[in-house]
Amino acid sequence: MRIAIFGTGYVGLVTGTCFAEMGNDVTCIDVDAAKVARLRKGESPIYEPGLNELLLDNIHHGRLAFTTVASDGLKDAEVAFICVGTPMSEDGRADLRYVESAARDIGKAMQAHVLVVDKSTVPVGTADKVRGWIADELSKRGAAIAFDVASNPEFLKEGSAVEDFMKPDRVVVGVDSPKAGALLHELYAPFIRNGLRFYTMDIRSAEMTKYAANSMLATKISFINEIANICERVGADVRQVRLGVGADSRIGLQFLHPGCGYGGSCFPKDVRALARTAEEHGYQPRILEAVDQVNKAQLRVVQRKLAAWAELNGRKLSDLRIAVWGLAFKPNTDDVREAPAIGLVREMSALGAIVRAHDPKATHEAQRALGQLPRVTYHDEPYEATEGADVLCLMTEWRPFRRPDFRKLARQLSGKTIFDGRNQYDDARCREFGLTVYPIGVPSQLERR
């Protein structure tokens, strides 16, 4: 099948590459000429395990191409996926300017019937707008060309997106014609050989499904963080509470991981966008509002613990040398959007502290996000960051950080203290080496201050 992909960001590049891997003829279209030039050389602009190998292989075999010209990508295409960004505007709405631009480009360039599929995360009702934008451009051309519009939300997890696409737990499509549904089922058939995970529904329900799914996962994270904060105050250990709660098959342990809050390109934006949609339709989304507010507070939990520790030890935050392990919002990605570590580094630098940061993959993106901050240095190796530091803040649970050399850390950290923002370290194990660890959701002397 010949496929056009509008947008070569995280969703578009993974989608296009994985469709090409199944033998489809895919052309990805992007307005960024420099990015397209890199992609043509097989250079991925994002870090995603397994993606670069597939990218190179499919370019080599001629199944995957890149262009800045919409008409080139749409030539003979049966399906055109819109995979552009939908950033959050200041009032919480999803910004659809790039979706509109892609839709209008399709209307200007299409020469025959094409199924246009919204894969970007978009508010309910966006498919109707896409249909209108395309029709408007066709009208300007005086062209009477039939087309269909569908919704096919993505459910990819950064860090495992290729595996998620190749072996999806479900494929959701929203269509308003049997022809569109049949075409999408044919396209996805190689990915769902038993056919049991393909869900066809109306377009608005498909659009809503993505927002509902992400908001549910964000709710679980904010819930366990709320419980963690209560545990610290009542003398309970959230690590034990989590196991007891998660053993209930109706609840489970997934996304019940207390820590320093969620970040990334999806959860913060989607929770707020869905809340905004609800408000626009006269409904106050109390749970969504609470989820967002809890998370905003949780993003600063390590800062609060640092401040309490400094006061307890007669220190000033401005005098501290702070090592930070992890800058990405989660492991196996270089995405730092709304990452807890970014807020920590920015705030500690503003207060006058020295920050020594390390991340296996996200350093470049963090430098771009933070700019030139005073007293902030970036290090290629984790123990370079901790050399000469007072304390260590674990902000992302990359595998190399999960079982560090505690003996070495005890020699390097003058304050002998670790702030465990991802609850990875065992208290007793750390004490063997003279280290004090402060996890999230575990009572300590800091909460009594």
Residue 206 token pair: 């498909």
Q: Please list, in sequence order, all residues whose beta carbon lies within 8 angstroms of the beta carbon of residue 136, skipping any fewer than 6 positions away.
A: 104, 107
Report the alpha-carbon distance of residue 367 to residue 275 in Å, rounded: 31
Kindly name the residue from 231, 260, 266, 393 that is annotated as catalytic: 266
Residue pair 372/346 in contact (Cβ under 8 Å)? The answer is no
Catalytic: 231?
Answer: no
CB 387 within 8 A of CB 413: no
Neighbours of 91 (CB within 10 A): 8
- Angstrom distance (rounded) from CA 418 to CA 434: 11
309 Cβ contact partners less than 8 Å away, ≥ 6 residues apart: 315, 391, 415, 417, 419, 438, 446
What would you report as the CA-atom Rg of the chain, rounded to the nearest whole angstrom? 24
Sign of the alpha-carbon torsion through 388, 392, 395, 400: positive
What is the C-alpha to C-alpha distance for residues 392 and 405, in angstroms, rounded to an integer? 13
The residues annotated as belonging to the active site are 266
